[in-house]
Structure 1
Amino acid sequence: MPNNVETKGYTYSQLGDSHDESSSSHGLVPSSTQRRNFHYLWTVLTVINTLVLGTNLMLLWQRHSISNPQQQVEEPLAPFMSSIDRTLHKKTFNAFEYNVTKYTARTSDVGDEVEKNWVDLGIYGAPIVIPMDEVEYFDISSDHVRLDPQTNPTAPYAGVSGKIQAQHYLHCVNLLRQGLWYNRDYYRAQRHPSWNEAQDVLYGEYTLSEIHTAHCIDQLRQLIMCEADMSVVPFLEGKEGMSFLDFERPKQCRSWQSFLKWHRERAWEGGRISEERNIPGHEIPFFSWSGH
């Protein structure tokens, strides 16, 4: 009797008698070829399942990150900035309103009040000093000015001075507000440091005020392009079939108030330029997200 039996393309070895301890209670056992085929199939299925599971986990993580933006990786802060609240909080932007806010009111209506509101936001804030042992957190080179209390008694400690970029951006927005056709003459008459006669000095083809304004426009343009905010502003149904954009949208934002508190504690008043010292805000600072 043959030792091997061929059935439907598979070859099986014949078992010994019932007294053979290596025998199975079933009639047939798979050959080595069939075992290799089963092993290959099992390996392929395992790899496919692993890939599917990994893909699902990645998609779940992405959805979690989008729906929970506070879980996303924060930018590293230097230790001397650690008290600033950098978590995200939901804020709702203003709708398109047929009105102005306390940050956009005309000078002809409110005079210096609108400028004081901007001053309270910290636009003329004094520089801060990065401690020397923390300059590694910033893009500091040997060309940047070092401070030393031994040579500059107003310096709080050895380090590198600088202005916070967010304050500079707000200064630029305010400069553009001041330069609007319905505000510019007011600030020229007031001899505001950004609009006095010193700003009429020519540098090549352009006055200093023109160069300053152009600089601010480019800074804000580059900021917007850098952030590339992908939020969607949908349309709303208006009267008479007219649609309008819904700007009253929520967004996750940092705490400006937390930053201002930190800045007031860290500001190096000795580094403030004299012109900015003479631009007052309110005795009790005004702050409003909406401006109302």
Structure 2
Amino acid sequence: MGLSKEFQNSSFWAKEASSSKYKLLQEEQTSSSTSLPLHKHKENIHTLTIISTAASTFSKIWILHMILFMISGAVLLYSILKLPSKSYCIEKLSPYSPGLHIFQDVDKVYRFDVGYNSHSSFRGPPSPERDAVWDRITHVGAMSISEETRQKINASDGSVRLPKESGGGFMAMTEFVHEMHCIDRLWKHTYPDYYMYEYNHTIESPEDWHEHADHCAEILRQKVMCNADITVVTYNWLKNHESPHPNFNSQHKCRDFDAALEWAIANQAPPPKEGKVYRPTDGTHYFEYDDLPFDPRKLS
């Protein structure tokens, strides 16, 4: 059966319309499909920009922290290196001496043992053994020091020089040896029956004896006042004592006396040929002073 022309035309237009709608829908879909990825692409770019900016900011902060850390480390290291050493502290708290180095690595804490019934090799009735102990720390010979050392200790320009066989430098001694000599001398005076030569000296030359005793007491007084030991001493109750008794067994931080004594002994100058130092008789110029004390820079 054949189709009419109207039907064929309507069918054609229907196909055309359907085709046109399909193309339009396809175009819209195409347009929609192309516009959606572009929007997402922009969002991605924005997100990447934020991430990149954040990463850049984090990187800068991290670098800043590293710089600050390195600066802090450098400052800490510098501070540690600049901390005063033990030798620096000793030098700042002590007058110059060529023997200061012996105390740089030595710290000793002692608890004094000074009870009335305490025993020590230095205390008690005199005896040959007791004398030997005192002689070891008081019979130390003079030492020879250089011109540089003499200037550093601000000693007199007219200081006595030793003969060449004794080193040829300036005659010197350590303070503690003289202080121990004074203590020993005063202690011996408490036993006149044993140390008769000391007692006889007081009888034969009382003025000279008192002068020497006063000198020693004055030296020790000035030394104690110079040190001004502020160690705190507590009190305790003791049997057969009505009042609180001071506990002198206090703790002290002390220099190593044995090291100091060994240094002084090791640095003794060889004794002169004549046994003692006399005024020069060979024409060598020397200075004489009226008495002590005097200006160390004064020559007369």
Classify the TM-score, shorter chain.
Answer: 0.5 to 0.7
Partner letter of residue 152 of structure 2?
A: Y
| Partners of 1:88 and 1:253 within 8 A in 2 | yes
Asked if structure 1 preserves the Cα contact closer than 8 Å seen for 2:233 and 2:248, the reply is: yes
Q: Distance in 1 between matches of 2:228 and 2:140?
A: 27
Q: Does 1:160 align with 2:170?
A: yes
Q: Which structure carries more helix by proportion?
A: 2
Matching residue of 1:17: none
Q: Deviations over 1:171-211 (max 9, x none)?
A: 1111111000xx122111xx4xxx27566554xxx432222
SS at match of 1:210: helix
Q: TM-score, normalised by structure 1?
A: 0.56
Counting only pairs closer than 5 Å after superposition, residues 101-250 of structure 1 correspond to structure 2 as: 101-107=120-126, 111-120=127-136, 122-147=137-162, 152-156=163-167, 158-180=168-190, 183-188=191-196, 191=197, 195=198, 200-202=203-205, 206-239=206-239, 242-250=243-251
Does the C-alpha gap of structure 1 residues 74 and 221 become closer, same or farther in structure 2, counting only changes over 3 Å?
closer
In structure 1, the residue matched to 2:103 is 85
* Cα drift, residue 274 of structure 1: 6.0
Does the 8 A contact of 1:96 with 1:247 survive in 2?
Answer: yes
Percent of matched pairs sharing the same residue: 19
* Alpha-carbon displacement from aligned partner over 1:16-61 (angstroms, at most 9, x marks no partner): xxxxxxxxxxxxxxxxxxxxxxxxxxxxxxxxxxxxxxxxxxxxxx
Distance 1:245 1:272 in 2: 52
CA positional deviation for 1:142: 1.8
Q: Structure 2 vs 1, CA of residues 96 and 271 (structure 1 numbering), >3 Å: closer, same or farther? A: farther
Question: Measured at CA, do residues 209 and 274 of structure 1 come closer, stay the same or move farther in structure 2, by a change above 3 Å?
Answer: farther
In structure 2, the residue matched to 1:19 is: none
Alpha carbons 2:109, 2:252 under 8 Å: kept: yes
Please list every run of 5 or more consecutive structure 1 residues that lacks an aligned counterpart in the other structure: 1-64, 276-292
Equivalent position SS for 1:207:
helix
Cα–Cα, structure 1 residues 71 and 127, in superposed 2: closer, same or farther, change >3 Å?
A: closer
User: CA–CA distance in 2 between the matches of 1:81 and 1:272?
Assistant: 27
CA RMSD of aligned residues (A): 3.1
CA distance in 1, matches of 2:273, 2:243: 51
Letter in 2 for 1:91: Y
The TM-score, its normalising length taken from structure 2, stands at 0.55
1:71 Cα deviation (Å)? 5.7
* Mapped contact 2:145–2:170 kept (Cα < 8 A): yes
**How far off its partner does 1:253 sit?**
0.4
What amino acid does structure 2 have at the position aligned with 1:179?
H
**Counterpart mapping for 1:26-37 below 5 A:** none
Spell out, residue by residue over 1:221-262, the C-alpha distance to the aligned partner (whole angstroms, 9 max, x if none). Answer: 111122211111111133476421111111110011111221
- Counterparts of 2:239 and 2:155 in 1: how far apart (Å)? 55
Aligned to 2:271: 270
Structure whose alpha-carbon radius of gyration is higher: 2
SS in structure 1 of the partner of residue 94 of structure 2? coil
1:96 alignment partner AA: G
